[in-house]
């Protein structure tokens, strides 16, 4: 059960509510986000929730018995929109395109990518400065100095940045220099990191775990929300199956399903989703038709020379075609 409190609820009204919930043996958790205050009640006893809904100081009440609650569409029917500022919005009818290299490599690469995005009127750049790599001997990113340089160049050009945070300890150093925190597939169930990202007022894009279920992804999102941060996007990036002729299996079904189960924006990552450059475009377009609110993909001036994930990275030319086709596909879907 979710109970949303009025902003001006009095102490006496709170005490009355608590007494009522205790009388039916409900275990409660208080949640205060940047937008509202909620009480999550968990209990078995059946009772008429109107008895609470009509109490003064209560804004809304719903029974949501799934393991995830605040991120559920059963709680909030309308789609959540995330506002990055400067007219850049994600979800709720605004289609988002995010592109950039797998890894931030150099000042020259940052400048070249920004110029490419500006030319194509794309306002969000991706890139990793802390890279989770399967091998410890692979390039692991430029770290905080690379991030500072990138953020400076991007903000000068009116571009927002999304980048992966791998550890709780990195949040404070990074927060001034990012627009969206990305939680990578390998950290999708790092509950300490999710708790910590719930305590900051910055949007978070949460990726699905390599073998994560849809319910696990939604419960991970619930960690962020229940710690106080409502600005969450979900990302389908492909899962591991028995198939090994491509890198991951892009689960288009999950996009449709997540849109039904949750009010949060759903972003598709076709680059990691299939991991094969020549198929990225068609998987990206299919993701839009499946209901995605945005697409994030990898692009590089010279994919063959990329420090990481070159095999799934588009050239500028290929990206240009994809931006155009994504816009057209989104428009087509919205007019169906
Ligand atoms: C990435 O976006 O470059 C990345 C490492 O993604 P994932 O966590 O989905 O593997
Ligand atoms: Mn990558």
User: By C-alpha distance, which of 193, 184, 197, 226 is closest to 69?
Assistant: 226
Q: Does 132 sit in the ligand 1 pocket, CB within 6 Å?
A: yes
**How crowded is the C-beta side of 264, counted as CA atoms within 13 Å?**
33
- The mean pLDDT of 69-93, rounded to a whole number, is 97
Distance 307 CA to ligand 1 centre (A): 14
User: Could you read off the pLDDT of 84-96 as tens digits, one per residue?
Assistant: 999 999 999 999 9
Give the number of the atom of ligand 1 that is nearest the alpha carbon of residue 235. Answer: 9
- The mean pLDDT of 157-175, rounded to a whole number, is 98
Distance 271 CA to ligand 1 centre (A): 9
Q: Does 237 sit in the ligand 1 pocket, CB within 6 Å?
A: yes
pLDDT band at 14 (very low <50, low <70, confident <90, very high): very high
Both tokens of 146, joined, read 């690379």
Alpha helices, H only, 208-275: 214-226, 252-261, 270-274
User: Could you read off the pLDDT of 223-233 as tens digits, one per residue?
Assistant: 999 999 999 99
Distance 78 CA to ligand 1 centre (A): 29
pLDDT band at 46 (very low <50, low <70, confident <90, very high): confident
Instruction: Indicate the DSSP class of residue 103.
Output: B
Alpha helices, H only, 262-315: 270-274, 277-290
Distance 131 CA to ligand 1 centre (A): 8
User: Could you read off the pLDDT of 199-238 as tens digits, one per residue?
Assistant: 999 999 999 999 999 999 999 999 999 999 999 999 999 9
Please tell me the number of the ligand nearest to residue 312's CA: 2
Domains in the chain with CATH codes: 2-62 (3.30.70), 82-334 (3.20.20.70)
User: Could you read off the pLDDT of 115-145 as tens digits, one per residue?
Assistant: 999 999 999 999 999 999 999 999 999 999 9
- The mean pLDDT of 306-330, rounded to a whole number, is 98
Q: Map residue 294 onto helix, strand or coil.
A: strand
User: Could you read off the pLDDT of 267-290 as tens digits, one per residue?
Assistant: 999 999 999 999 999 999 999 999
Strand partners for 185: none
Distance 217 CA to ligand 1 centre (A): 15
Q: Which residues contact 242 (CB under 8 A, 6 or more apart)?
A: none
Neighbours of ion ligand 2 (CB under 5 A): 102, 309
Position 163 pLDDT exceeds 90: yes
Both tokens of 117, joined, read 């995005």
Q: Does 250 sit in the ligand 1 pocket, CB within 6 Å?
A: no
The C-alpha R_g of the chain, in whole angstroms, comes to 21
Integer Cα distance of 255 and 27 in angstroms: 33
Integer Cα distance of 164 and 126 in angstroms: 9
Q: Does 185 sit in the ligand 1 pocket, CB within 6 Å?
A: yes
Angle (CA) 134 246 251, round 5°: 95
Position 40 pLDDT exceeds 90: yes
């Amino acid at each position: 059960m979710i109970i949303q409190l009025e902003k001006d609820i009095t102490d006496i009204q709170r005490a009355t509510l608590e007494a009522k919930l205790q009388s039916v043996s409900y275990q409660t958790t208080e949640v205060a986000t940047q937008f509202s205050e909620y009480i999550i009640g968990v209990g078995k006893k059946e009772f008429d929730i109107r008895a609470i809904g009509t109490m003064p100081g209560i804004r809304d009440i719903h029974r949501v018995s799934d393991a995830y609650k605040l991120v559920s569409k059963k709680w909030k029917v309308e789609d959540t929109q995330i506002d990055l500022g400067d007219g850049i919005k994600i979800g709720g009818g605004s289609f988002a395109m995010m592109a950039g290299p797998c890894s931030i490599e150099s000042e020259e690469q940052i400048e070249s990518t920004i110029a490419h995005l500006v030319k194509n009127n794309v306002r969000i750049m991706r890139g990793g400065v802390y890279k989770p790599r399967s091998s410890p001997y692979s390039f692991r990113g430029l770290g905080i100095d690379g991030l500072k340089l990138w953020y400076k160049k991007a903000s000068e050009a009116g571009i927002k940045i999304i980048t992966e945070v791998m550890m709780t300890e990195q949040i404070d150093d990074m927060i001034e220099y990012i627009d969206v925190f990305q939680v990578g597939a390998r950290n999708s169930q790092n509950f300490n990191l999710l708790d910590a990202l719930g305590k900051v007022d910055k949007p978070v894009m949460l990726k699905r775990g390599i073998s994560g279920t849809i319910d696990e992804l939604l419960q991970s999102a619930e960690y962020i929300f229940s710690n106080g941060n409502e600005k969450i996007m979900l990302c389908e990036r492909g899962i591991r199956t028995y198939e090994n002729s491509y890198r991951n299996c892009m689960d288009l079904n999950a996009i449709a399903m997540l849109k039904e189960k949750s009010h949060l924006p759903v972003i598709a990552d076709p680059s990691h989703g299939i991991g094969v450059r020549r198929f990225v475009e068609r998987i990206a377009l299919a993701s839009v038709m499946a209901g995605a609110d945005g697409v994030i993909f990898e692009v590089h001036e010279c994919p063959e020379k990329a420090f990481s994930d070159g095999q799934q990275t588009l050239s500028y030319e290929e990206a240009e075609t994809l931006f155009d086709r994504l816009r057209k596909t989104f428009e087509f879907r919205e007019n169906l």
